[in-house]
Amino acid sequence: MRQGIVNNQRDHEILRWLYFGPAVVTNIFRKFFNSDEKNKKTRWRVMLRRLQKMQDARLIEVVTDNRAPERIIVLALKGAELACKVFSLDIENAWLHAGKDQDYYHDLTTAILARRFVFNAPNDFTVDLHFEFYLKKERQRRTTNIRGIGYPDFRVHLYRNNKEEKTFDVERDCSTIGRHAYEKKLRSSNSPLLVVTDTKKRANWLFRNAMTINAPRSVYVVLMKELPKNVYSSIKCLSTPDNDLVTIKILSD
């Protein structure tokens, strides 16, 4: 592939990173380019040149939005195809959508959560993570009865020695979901659900409704700022039916 760019391993890793959702430019810099503390300005220029070449090659798209603090980088179809080829990923699960009506705060923070689950997994585990749009397509292939189904932002399947160890749903709440839609999400699966929100007031609302709805699954509500970067470590959160803080581990010892 030589149309203004020769892809290297770092390019591939960036594309794989973006496969799990959009990212602001600063986060890409910290993850992939900030290798020399003394030459940050130089490294920043190196990153901008590289991202421009990747954009020119139609591997990525650059999005601006007045609600976002800086430019947002999103995977383009051509970049998704390359990432899927290199890393054996499913093209139907690639996060490609970027439109004028997107909620970038929700999307950026959901992508942060998704990457925590994928890239922080213990060495003896493999992770299959499927986004909401993938889960919808999968159900449509199986049945035409899709009314009344609530999907999480993503579902995580954890495997050890090719055996499924745990399935976990994650919902990133930004105070926009109503009680009816929340109830559909609670009732649409038996897997544990981790709801990540921003304020204690909102967490209490989510918790109270989960209790009154009497969902057929374990529901945990945690504040985004209190969720550890390694989501496989201990997490303190509200849980039904216990009207108190509990400590959970997504993977038990």
CA distance 22 to 95: 8
Shared-domain flag, residues 128 and 55: no
Domain edge (last residue) among 45, 80, 102: 102
Shared-domain flag, residues 194 and 223: yes
Shared-domain flag, residues 113 and 221: yes
Shared-domain flag, residues 31 and 135: no
Q: Tokens 């996060």 — which residue? A: 95
> pLDDT tens-digit profile of 181-201?
999 999 888 899 999 999 999
Q: Which pLDDT does position 242 carry in this prediction?
A: 64
> pLDDT tens-digit profile of 26-75?
999 999 998 777 788 999 999 999 999 999 999 999 988 777 789 999 99
Tell me the residue range of the domain where 19 lies.
Answer: 1-102
Q: Based on the structure, what is the number of domains in the chain?
A: 2
Residue 251: name the closest of 195, 171, 202, 194 by CA: 194
Residue spans of the chain under pLDDT 50: 1-2
Q: Which pLDDT does position 2 carry in this prediction?
A: 47
CA distance 216 to 60: 41
Beta strands in 7-113 (DSSP E): 23-24, 60-63, 72-75
Shared-domain flag, residues 4 and 68: yes
Shared-domain flag, residues 113 and 98: no
**CA triple 51-10-94, angle to 5 deg:** 75
Give the three-state DSSP class for 219: strand
Distance from CA of residue 212 to its chain's centroid? 28
